[in-house]
Amino acid sequence: MERLQKIIANSGYTSRRKAEELIIQGKVKVNGKVITELGYQVDSHADIQIENQHLTKEEKEYYLLYKPEKTITSVQDNRKRTTVRDLIDTRARIYPIGRLDYDTTGVLLLTNDGELTNRLMHPSNHIEKRYLAKIKGNLTKEQILKLKDGIEIEGRKVIPTKLKVRHKGINTSKIEIGIIEGRNHIVKKIFAELEHPVINLKRESYAFLNLEGLKKGEYRKLTIKEIKKLYSLK
């Protein structure tokens, strides 16, 4: 017996968070009965319907996408903008693990494996993401030291796991920064706090995965070895 939202997420239908929303909204039936209880336990033989569609299990699929600019990190958009899901040729109901801003490029993982998504997104699983930020101006030595020691953003301190000045120009510079934070726009907020706004941002790696061999808009399937390694991250 397992919780209903976990079974829905593991089937590849949607993320666990979205599954919980569907249950609360009364859009999920188990053996013909509407279920609105998040802790409801079901077995593997239960007939589950979501919005009157029978739940079926999909083969698990795992992708690494080099997300381009002007692309929504979502599976659909009511403004008809391009989504990351549009860029991958599959019939599986994949969805992104985490988010990248509309104008941010770089590594993005997509899958229909709800268990892996939940593992990687859980706050206790401190996964490093490395970014290359092009910012206005140049950081002073004092600002670099302040950032290395940790900078307070919205009442919580952020300490980079990596900080390196890649390029220093006259009016702009490029900074490599590693973080384990999962808060929205956190890199942009860090540099805004230092009064050096981000001009553009690229996520160069997620844990051990990087963009090697890919161009913007291209993607590849993860290997079995990579999938097992993601499951082992702590």
How far is Cα 51 from Cα 171, in angstroms, rounded to an integer? 54
How far is Cα 20 from Cα 14, in angstroms, rounded to an integer? 10
CB atoms within 10 A of CB 92: 15
- Cα distances from 60 to residues 95, 112, 181, in angstroms, run 12, 6, 27
Best CA proximity match to 120, nearest among 37, 209, 217, 13: 209
Say if residue 76 is exposed, middle or buried (CB neighbours under 10 Å; 0-12, 13-18, 19+). exposed
Catalytic residue among 86, 89, 101, 113: 101
To which residue do tokens 């929205």 refer? 184
**Are the C-beta atoms of 112 and 94 separated by less than 8 Å?**
yes
Cα-atom radius of gyration of the chain, to the nearest Å? 20
Note if 89 is an active site residue. no
Residues labelled catalytic = 101
